[in-house]
């Protein structure tokens, strides 16, 4: 669903019978007024986006079964959308648009197995033109699922849903005709990223099915930094030591004025999360402190122990927490060279190691697999 003015537009891609709905929200919370509930425009839509006064529908199915990869409607009259154009008219070879991120008439279209395409809608001519594409970026098949654009519009974060275990990708889109890869992120070896969201230029919020909600600092797109996570699905994924397909956290909403985040888990329901500490506390050391201490925490996965090394003689505290935020191990250390931390008594799964010194703190996610 998406909103425009005081209206909410709702699509569903469930099998027939289905319908498109428009809700007038001006009377909330006293009452809900449904002003359209039917198949006049279309029966099913997989995704929806609203940019200015235009509504985009991805993978639209009309009543009777005819299919459009993507359509655009005018919301000049919000209760009566007007069909403008189908992408198929200009680009018939694009077979599907699974999702789209639209900014100022520029469409970042996730076209499934065909990859990522950038289109521009010309309002005056009522046509789509292609600005660029990013395809064949994976050594094997990759189903381009969804993307998100930071506030500065310089990079794009996107996820490939099929097959499982593909990385999150960050690309430079300043020149749409020459999209440049910046980095990839693998939360865990078997994690399947699903939907990305951006807050400002820095925070990438990623729903990762059985591995919950992950947050990354991408202020430097070429060097993303893990910032925090919440495991909505402890019965599976890395914390449950098993993967059971497409289950768990498949969506989020991080745009509340309060800063709270909704994380949606298919089996476990809705979680309301407060990531304030992640956003206001710097993760890692300052550049000088990092250079001076040169801390490293490894290996991951770890069995029996983890190693922490430093190039300087410095005192530090080590705090290890589980996915529920519970502290499971603390230790005070004086560093010069390498220190070993015994983790043999910890259960297999994901943990956060927080290393604190007088110069700053370093946080790293590790996997423990005690055989």
Q: What is the mean pLDDT of each run of 10 residues along the chain (371 residues)?
A: 97 95 96 97 98 98 96 98 98 98 98 98 98 94 96 96 94 98 91 95 94 93 89 86 88 89 96 84 42 70 89 83 79 82 89 80 82 76
How much is the pLDDT for 352? Answer: 83
How much is the pLDDT for 294? Answer: 66
Neighbours of 362 (CB within 10 A): 21
Report which secondary-structure segment, H or E, holds 146. strand 144-148
What lies within 8 Å, CB to CB, of 230 at 6+ separation is: 212, 213, 263, 271, 273, 323
The bridge status of strand 155-160 relative to strand 168-172 is: antiparallel
Collapsed DSSP state (helix, strand, coil) of residue 293: helix
How much is the pLDDT for 359? Answer: 72
What is the DSSP code string of 286-301?
-HHHHHHH--EEE-SS
How much is the pLDDT for 291? Answer: 41
Residues 21 and 10: their CA atoms lie apart, in Å, by 5
How much is the pLDDT for 292? Answer: 45
The CATH number given to 136-283 is 2.130.10.10
How much is the pLDDT for 370? Answer: 87
Residues 277 and 227: their CA atoms lie apart, in Å, by 10
Residues 139 and 246: their CA atoms lie apart, in Å, by 22
List every span in the chain annotated with CATH 2.130.10.10: 136-283
- Residue 45: Cβ-neighbour burial (10 angstroms; 0-12, 13-18, 19+): buried
Kindly state the tokens that stand for 309. 């090394």
Residues 9 and 45: their CA atoms lie apart, in Å, by 11
How much is the pLDDT for 349? Answer: 80
The CATH number given to 292-368 is 2.60.40.3080
Residues 145 and 138: their CA atoms lie apart, in Å, by 14
- Residue 90: Cβ-neighbour burial (10 angstroms; 0-12, 13-18, 19+): middle
Phi/psi class of residue 237: alpha, beta or left (left: φ > 0; alpha: ψ in -120 to 50)? left
Collapsed DSSP state (helix, strand, coil) of residue 181: strand
Residue 28 preceded by cis peptide, ω within 30: no
Residue pair 196/251 in contact (Cβ under 8 Å)? The answer is: no
What DSSP designation does 136 have?
S
- Residue 311: Cβ-neighbour burial (10 angstroms; 0-12, 13-18, 19+): middle
List every span in the chain annotated with CATH 2.60.40.3080: 292-368
């Amino acid at each position: 669903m998406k909103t425009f003015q005081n209206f909410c537009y709702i699509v569903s891609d469930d099998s027939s019978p289905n319908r498109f709905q428009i809700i007038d929200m001006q009377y909330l919370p006293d009452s809900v007024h449904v002003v359209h509930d039917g198949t006049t425009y279309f029966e099913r839509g997989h995704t929806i986006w609203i940019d200015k006064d235009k509504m985009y529908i991805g993978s639209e199915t009309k009543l009777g079964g005819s299919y459009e990869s993507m359509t655009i409607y005018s919301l000049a009259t919000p209760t009566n959308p007007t069909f403008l154009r189908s992408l198929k008219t200009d680009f018939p070879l694009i077979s599907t648009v699974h999702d789209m991120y639209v900014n100022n008439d520029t469409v970042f279209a996730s076209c499934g197995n065909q990859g990522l395409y950038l289109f521009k809608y010309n309002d005056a001519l009522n046509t789509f033109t292609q600005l660029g594409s990013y395809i064949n970026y994976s050594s094997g098949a990759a189903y381009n699922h969804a993307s998100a654009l930071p506030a500065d519009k310089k990079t794009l974060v996107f996820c490939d849903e099929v097959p499982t275990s593909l990385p999150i990708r960050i690309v430079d889109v300043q020149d749409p005709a020459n999209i440049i890869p910046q980095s990839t992120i693998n939360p865990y070896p078997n994690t399947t990223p699903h939907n990305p969201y951006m807050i400002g230029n820095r925070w990438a919020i990623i729903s990762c099915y059985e591995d919950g909600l992950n947050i990354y600092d991408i202020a430097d797109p070429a060097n993303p930094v893990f910032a925090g996570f919440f495991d909505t699905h402890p019965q599976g994924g890395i914390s449950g030591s098993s993967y059971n397909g497409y289950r768990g956290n498949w969506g989020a909403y991080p745009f509340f004025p309060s800063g709270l985040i909704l994380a949606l888990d298919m089996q476990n329901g809705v979680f309301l999360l407060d990531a304030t500490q992640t956003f206001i506390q710097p993760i890692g050391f300052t550049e000088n402190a990092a250079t001076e201490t040169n801390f490293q925490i490894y290996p991951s996965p770890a069995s029996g122990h983890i190693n922490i090394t430093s190039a300087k003689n410095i005192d530090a505290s080590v705090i290890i927490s589980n996915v529920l935020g519970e502290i499971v191990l603390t230790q005070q250390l004086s560093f010069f060279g390498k220190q070993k931390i015994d983790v043999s008594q910890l259960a297999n799964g994901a943990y956060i190691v927080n290393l604190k010194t007088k110069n700053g703190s370093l946080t790293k996610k590790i996997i423990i697999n005690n055989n």
